[in-house]
């Protein structure tokens, strides 16, 4: 009665759980056709079927006051949803509609999708638990490409399939403001994908780091991210680790994005089963990119061919400072290849190589490069190779006149690999001596072990004649020989700083 009288105080009508059935629902619908006061109507759990839904659809065609309608948990089925969809195509007032648990299935979802193509009023739509599968999800996704008004979509409790979820994500990510949508937990990665791509496209200033690790992403997901990344100017870190379904297609899209992106500084693709061709594709992009400083490719078995591509980046990049290649199948030949590349690098400062069987020869090759490296301050390898690499790093710091490297330093020279044809210190001590000639920072130096032989001691004596920084030198060795001892004595006569 109050509805028929247009009672101005009746703006919200909640008739949930009233067992109205189709008859009373139809009577209410007839009264609402001419009503101009009721804005919200709730009819959940009332035993309404398709007949009642058809009557309510007539209200939507005639009434321009109603803004919210809930018919949830009523068995209106596809027929009822089709009727409501037909009314929505022309309705200009309803902004929120809930058809949750109404058994509308794919046919009903498809009809509603068609309505969304022309409706410009609806903002929130709940179609949860309706037996909708991938077919219905695909129809809704197609409609969303043309709809510019819907901001909230709920589809939980529907088996929409991975294909349907991805299609919805692609549609929704086109609109930065469209972020409120819900799917079952198994599809949460697609919700995240849509949100992330939307934010990338909008250049959200708060989005500086994006971690999409172990999300079962494939080429389609990565291609969407890459397309958004190409023009983005805010994201600094992108991690896609452990997404093993990504193939060369996705990596190519990502590489293309890197060529134009001017903001990203860290890219992580560890444990992605990337092969040689994938690494080559990324490497080609990195020779063009001028912002990526950290590259993480650990646990990808890309072989010698892929490593050669990485070495090309090391040699030519003017920005790359950190490279992670843990557990990447790098052997002795690979370590020697890396050593050759490092010799030409001006920027790489940190390199992680743990979990690779680089061998004593490979470790020695890397250590020798460190003597003269202008940038490398960190190199991690397996424990067995640590002494060689640590020593190489220390000699490099002496050669660079590292201002922080001036206190008592213990250089320990140990015997390595008989296959070298001699002790490692036969080269290490002369290398240290050469570095000391130009060093002015180091003031206290200890050379440990009993391994400093005549050649090393003679080289040190030559350095002492020139060095003007050392004040303390301790050599723990009884094998330097008479000639070296005399040379040391002669050097002390002219050295101006050594006091102990």
3-class SS of residue 171: helix
Phi, psi of 116 (to 5 degrees): -65, -20
Q: How many angstroms separate the Cα of 309 from the Cα of each of 198, 262, 285, 316, 357?
A: 33, 22, 11, 11, 20
**Pairing between β-strand 152-154 and β-strand 40-42 as defined by DSSP bridges:** unpaired
Query: How far is 379 from 324, CA to CA, in rounded Å?
Result: 10
* Distance linking the first and last C-alpha atoms of the chain: 108
User: Residue 101 forms beta bridges with which residues?
Assistant: none
Give residue 418's pLDDT: 26
Half-sphere exposure of 404 (CA within 13 A, CB side): 3
Residue 127 near residue 155 (C-beta atoms within 8 A): yes
Are 352 and 324 in contact, with CB atoms under 8 Å apart?
A: yes
Residue 412 confidence (pLDDT): 59
Q: What span, in angstroms and rounded, lies between the C-alpha atoms of 470 and 168? A: 69
What pLDDT, in 10s, does the model give residues 20-61?
999 999 999 999 999 999 999 999 999 999 999 999 999 999
Buried b (16+ CB within 10 A) or exposed e, 167-192: bbbbbbbebeebeebebeeebebbbe
Handedness of CA 214, 204, 295, 225 (dihedral sign): positive
What is the pLDDT at residue 411?
63
pLDDT in single tens digits along all 500 residues of the chain: 999 999 999 999 999 999 999 999 999 999 999 999 999 999 999 999 999 999 999 999 999 999 999 999 999 999 999 999 999 988 999 999 999 999 999 999 999 999 999 999 999 999 999 999 999 999 999 999 888 899 899 999 999 999 999 999 888 887 655 557 888 888 888 888 988 998 999 999 999 999 999 999 999 999 999 999 999 999 999 999 999 999 999 999 999 999 999 999 999 999 999 999 999 999 999 999 999 999 999 999 999 999 999 999 999 999 999 999 999 999 999 999 999 999 999 999 999 999 999 999 999 999 999 998 888 989 999 999 998 898 899 899 999 998 888 765 556 554 433 233 334 446 888 999 999 999 999 998 888 665 678 888 899 999 999 999 999 988 876 678 899 899 999 999 999 999 98
- How far does Cα 215 stand from its chain's mean position? 11
Q: Tokens for 385? A: 């190779």
Name the token pair of 494: 């002219």
> How far does CA 94 lie from the centroid of its chain?
40
Integer Cα distance of 317 and 259 in angstroms = 13
Tokens in use for 476? 């723990």
CB 221 within 8 A of CB 193: yes
Distance CA(284)–CA(117), nearest Å, equals: 43
Q: What is d(CA 381, CA 399) in angstroms, rounded to the nearest whole number? A: 22
Buried b (16+ CB within 10 A) or exposed e, 427-455: bbbbbbbbbbeebeebbebebbbebbbbb
Under 8 Å CB-to-CB from 120, ≥6 apart: which residues?
92, 148, 149
Q: Which residue has 């020798």 as its token pair?
A: 368
The pLDDT value given to residue 426: 66
Neighbouring residues of 384: CB distance < 8 A, sequence distance ≥ 6: none
Helix 77-88, helix 50-62: angle, nearest 10: 0
Q: Please name the residue that has the structure tokens 């739509």.
A: 125
Is-contact 181 153, C-beta < 8 A?
Answer: yes
234 CB-near residues (< 8 Å, 6+ apart): 203, 204, 205, 207, 208, 263
- The two tokens of residue 21 are 């059935």
493: region left, alpha or beta (phi > 0 left; psi from -120 to 50 alpha): alpha
Tell me how far apart the alpha carbons of residues 325 and 417 are, in angstroms, rounded to a whole number: 24
How many CB atoms are closer than 10 A to CB 159? Answer: 13
Distance CA 279, CA 312 (A): 11
Q: How many CA atoms lie within 13 A of 50 on its CB side?
A: 10
């Amino acid at each position: 009665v109050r509805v028929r009288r247009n009672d101005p105080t009746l703006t919200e009508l909640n008739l949930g759980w009233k067992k109205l059935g189709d008859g009373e629902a139809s009577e209410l619908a007839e009264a609402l056709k001419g009503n101009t006061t009721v804005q919200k109507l709730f009819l959940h759990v009332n035993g309404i079927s398709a007949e009642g839904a058809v009557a309510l659809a007539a209200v939507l065609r005639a009434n321009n006051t109603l803004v919210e309608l809930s018919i949830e948990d009523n068995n209106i089925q596809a027929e009822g949803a089709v009727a409501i969809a037909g009314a929505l195509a022309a309705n200009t007032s309803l902004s929120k509609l809930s058809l949750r648990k109404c058994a509308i299935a794919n046919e009903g979802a498809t009809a509603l999708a068609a309505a969304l193509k022309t409706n410009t009023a609806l903002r929130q739509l709940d179609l949860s638990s309706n037996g909708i599968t991938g077919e219905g999800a695909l129809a809704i996704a197609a409609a969303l490409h043309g709809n510019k008004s819907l901001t909230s979509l709920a589809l939980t409790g529907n088996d929409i399939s991975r294909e349907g979820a991805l299609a919805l994500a692609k549609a929704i990510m086109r609109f930065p403001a469209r972020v409120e949508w819900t799917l079952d937990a198994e599809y949460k990665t697609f919700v995240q994908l849509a949100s992330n791509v939307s934010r990338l496209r909008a250049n959200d200033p708060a989005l500086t780091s994006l971690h999409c690790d172990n999300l079962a992403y494939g080429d389609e997901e990565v291609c969407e991210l890459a397309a958004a990344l190409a023009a983005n100017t805010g994201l600094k870190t992108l991690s896609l680790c452990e997404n093993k379904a990504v193939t060369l297609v996705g990596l190519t899209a990502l590489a293309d994005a890197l060529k134009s992106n001017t903001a990203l500084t860290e890219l992580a693709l560890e444990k992605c089963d990337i092969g040689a061709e994938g690494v080559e594709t990324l490497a080609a992009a990195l020779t063009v990119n001028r912002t990526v400083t950290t590259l993480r490719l650990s646990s990808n078995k890309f072989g010698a061919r892929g490593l050669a591509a990485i070495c090309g980046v090391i040699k030519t990049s003017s920005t790359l400072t950190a490279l992670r290649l843990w557990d990447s199948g790098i052997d002795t030949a690979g370590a020697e290849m890396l050593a050759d590349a490092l010799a030409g690098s001006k920027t790489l400062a940190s390199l992680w190589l743990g979990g690779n069987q680089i061998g004593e020869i490979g470790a020695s090759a890397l250590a020798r490069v460190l003597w003269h490296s202008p940038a490398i301050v960190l190199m991690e390898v397996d424990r067995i190779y640590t002494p060689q690499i640590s020593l190489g790093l220390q000699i490099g710091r002496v050669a660079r006149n590292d201002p922080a490297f001036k206190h008592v330093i213990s250089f320990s020279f140990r015997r390595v690999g008989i296959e070298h044809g001699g002790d490692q210190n036969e080269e290490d001590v002369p290398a240290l001596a050469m570095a000391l000639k130009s060093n002015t920072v180091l003031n206290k130096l200890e050379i440990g072990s009993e391994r400093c032989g005549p050649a090393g001691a003679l080289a040190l004596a030559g350095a002492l004649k020139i060095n003007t920084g050392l004040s303390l030198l301790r050599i723990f060795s009884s094998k330097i020989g008479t000639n070296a001892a005399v040379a040391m004595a002669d050097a002390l006569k002219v050295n101006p700083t050594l006091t102990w």
